[in-house]
Amino acid sequence: MTSAVPIAPSVAPGDTLLELRAVSKRFGSREVLRTLSLEIASGEFLTLLGESGSGKTTLLRLIAGFEQPTDGEIWMHGMRLDPLPPYRRRVNTVFQQYALFPHLNVSENVAYGLHAAGAPKSEIATRVKDSLGMVRMQEFATAKPAKLSGGQQQRVALARALVNRPELLLLDEPLSALDANLRKEMQSELKSLQREVGITFLFVTHDQEEAMALSDRVALLRNGALEQIGSPREIYAHPATAYTAQFIGQTNLLHTTVAAGMASCEDFSFPCSRPDGSALFSLRPQSIAFAADAPQISSPVRFSAVIRQQIYSGATELLELRTAAGTILRARIASRELLSGSHEFVFSAPDAVPVRE
Partner 1 sequence: MSTASATAARRSPLLATYAAIVFAFIYLPIAVLVVYSLNRDGVGGFPPRHFTLDWYRKLFRDSAIWDSVRNSLIVAAGAVALSLTLGLLAALAFDRADFPGKTLFRRLVLLPLILPGIITGLSLLLFAVRIRLELSLITIFLGHGSALISVATTELFAGLQKMDRRQEEASLDLGATPWRTFWLITFPNLKLSLIAAALLIFTLSMDEIAVTFFLYGREYTLPLEIWGRLRRGITPEINAISTLILAASVVLIVVWYHLRTRSERP
Partner 2 sequence: MYTRTYKVLVSVPPILWVALFLFFPYALMFAHSFWSVSDGSILHDWNLGNYRTLIHNPLYWQVLLRTARIAASVTALSLLLGYPLAYFLSFHAGPRKELLYQLVIVPLWVSYLVRGYAWKTILGSDGVLNGFLQYLHLTREPVAAFLYSPFAVILMLTHIYTPFVFLPIYASLEHIPRPLVEASQDLGASPRATFFRVILPLSLPGLLAGATFAFVLSLGDFLAPLLVGGPSGTMIANLVQSLFGAAYDWPLGAAISVFILVFTLGILAFTQRLEKRWSFE
Residues that bind partner 1 in the complex, under the rule CB under 8 A: 27, 58, 61, 65-68, 85-86
Give the single-character DSSP code of 212: H
Nearest distance from residue 76's CB to partner 2, in Å?
Answer: 15
Residues 122-161 that bind partner 2 (CB under 8 A): 144, 146, 160-161
Q: Which does 68 bind (CB under 5 to 8 A by kind): partner 2, partner 1, none?
A: partner 1
HSE-CB of 6 using CA atoms within 13 angstroms: 2
Comparison of 105 and 215: residue with beta carbon closer to partner 2: 105
| Residue 16: C-alpha distances to residues 11, 12, 24 (Å) | 8, 9, 21
**Residue 26 touching partner 2 (CB under 8 A):** no
Instruction: Spell out the residues 6+ positions from residue 163 whose beta carbon is closer than 8 angstroms to its own.
Output: 5, 110, 111, 113, 114, 127, 128, 130, 131
Q: Which does 58 bind (CB under 5 to 8 A by kind): partner 2, partner 1, none?
A: partner 1
**Residue 174 touching partner 2 (CB under 8 A):** no
Beta-bridge mates of residue 228: 220
Q: Which does 67 bind (CB under 5 to 8 A by kind): partner 2, partner 1, none?
A: partner 1
Give the single-character DSSP code of 2: P
Nearest distance from residue 153's CB to partner 1, in Å?
Answer: 18
Contact 286, 329 (CB under 8 A): no
Report the distance separating Cα 117 and Cα 111, nearest Å.
10
3-state secondary structure 301-341: EEEEEEEEEEEEECCEEEEEEEECCCCEEEEEEECCCCCCE
Residues 78-97 that bind partner 2 (CB under 8 A): 85-88, 91-93, 95-97
Q: Which does 342 bind (CB under 5 to 8 A by kind): partner 1, partner 2, none?
A: none
Nearest distance from residue 97's CB to partner 2, in Å?
Answer: 6
Q: Which does 312 bind (CB under 5 to 8 A by kind): partner 1, partner 2, none?
A: none
Nearest distance from residue 23's CB to partner 1, in Å?
Answer: 15
Q: Counting beta carbons within 10 angstroms of the beta carbon of residue 195, is it exposed (0 to 12), middle (13 to 18) or buried (19 or more)?
A: exposed
Binding site for partner 2 (CB under 8 A): 64-66, 85-88, 91-93, 95-97, 99-103, 112-113, 116-117, 144, 146, 160-161, 164
